[in-house]
Amino acid sequence: MIAVGLMSGTSLDGIDAALVDIRPRGDGYALDLVRFETVAFEAGLLRALRAALPPNAGSVAAAASLHHALGEAFAVAARAIAGSDPIGYVASHGQTVWHDGPRAVTLQLGDAFVVRERLRATVCYDFRSADCAAGGHGAPLVAYVDALLFRSAREDRVAINLGGIANLTLLPKTADAPVAAFDTGPGNMLMDAFVAERTAGERRIDRDGALAAAGEVDANLLAAMLTDEYFAQPPPKTTGRERFGEPFFARHRERLSQLTLEDGLATLSELTAVSLASAVDAAGFSEARTILSGGGARNRHLVSRIAARLSRARVETSDAMGIPAEAKEAMAFAVLGYETLRGRPANVPHATGAGYAVPLGAIAPYNLARVLADLECECRSS
């Protein structure tokens, strides 16, 4: 079946859209990427989105307007990537505007019914709420797909996604050992925000980590940042812009302002690398094969620092496993959408803290009987 996976994360760099050929294979899936594109947010929508995010207070009216506008933006991205190909369904993560994992509260905007009407296709959406209702954090959800795609009976593995927030999935080779996953802390978020602030918005990212590579780490500031209580919390745990956005910057802005752009970025890059490596070490996976994905996997300096901190591990991007690093999360939601249509549980309670496994997602149906008939035929023939 041909599906569209849509994902927009905490980095706010746009909507990742993946056109995926997905086929059941045993207990898992064969997955081929047909096309992928990141569609940038229109400037006015991005301003409205930033205004609605913490620490801004926002309003119900603004959230409702944003929900519709994001639906239109997701529909445009889906249509652009689908082209003339007939698609079975769309799986849309939406845009997280609030996340409080310990309280099992999360909210993603982006009206799925707008996407349905623009594409005339069934849309699977709202993937996190079911896990929250079962007592979980509603994240990380991609752990389920990481296990399907990357787990091996021959070796322990760690799948790391470097988005705005960094998260990891621990994949033990022992069949009866549980998969674990959690957010480790900042990924690209702080680096991107620092670049934007210091260049007055002229630059949004440190491409390839070139600026950070030219800088020096401020060891004292790094040590101060690492005292954040989140890093010492045991999993399950999740985080987001509420902690590692403006509130974190506010605590460290004065010391960051004393650094050059290059030194500040080197220090923030090291924060991501150290917090990730410390989490991997604490879990006993410091020698496991490490698979990087997400936009940060294209930051050569950050990847080199992670590899240096995990010096006993084989560190590579998910491209080596046949999954383009920047497309993995959008592809993962296409898989979660297929599981929604099958009614199969797709959370990992050991990772999210949920009391039990549950099917994820809601369905905005369009010719749903045909979609389900096609799906049943595919599953029978797998």
Q: Are residues 225 and 299 in the same domain?
A: yes
Q: What is the pLDDT of residues 94-132, one digit of tens each?
A: 999 999 999 999 999 999 999 999 999 999 999 999 999
Whether 157 and 264 share a structural domain: yes
Task: Using the 3D structure, point to which of 326, 346, 363 is the last residue of a domain.
Answer: 326
| Res 252: pLDDT | 96
Question: How many domains are there within the chain?
Answer: 2
**Same domain, residue pair 295 and 163:** yes
272 and 160 belong to one structural domain? yes
Q: Is pLDDT above 90 for 352?
A: yes
Q: Are residues 149 and 251 in the same domain?
A: yes
Q: Are residues 284 and 171 in the same domain?
A: yes
Q: Which pLDDT value is given to residue 382?
A: 79
Say whether pLDDT at 323 is over 90.
yes
Residue 11: pLDDT band by 50, 70, 90 thresholds? confident
pLDDT confidence tier of residue 165, bands split at 50, 70 and 90:
very high
Position 354 confidence tier, pLDDT thresholds 50, 70, 90: very high
Q: Model pTM?
A: 0.94
Find the domain containing 340 and state its range: 2-140+327-381
Do 39 and 98 belong to one domain?
Answer: yes
Report, as an integer, the average pLDDT of 223-251: 94
Q: State the sign of the Cα–Cα–Cα–Cα dihedral 351, 98, 116, 361.
A: positive
Q: pLDDT band for 10, please (50, 70, 90 cuts).
A: confident
Do 112 and 227 fall into the same domain?
no
Are 119 and 243 found together in one domain? no
pLDDT at 185 > cutoff 90: yes
Verify that 311 and 353 share a domain, yes or no. Answer: no
Claim to verify: residue 195 and residue 321 sit in the same structural domain: yes
Provide the pLDDT for residue 325.
96
46-61 pLDDT, tens digit per residue, is 999 999 888 888 899 9
CATH number (domain holding residue 211): 3.30.420.40
Based on the fold, state whether residues 31 and 18 are members of the same structural domain: yes
Answer whether residue 13 shows pLDDT above 90.
no
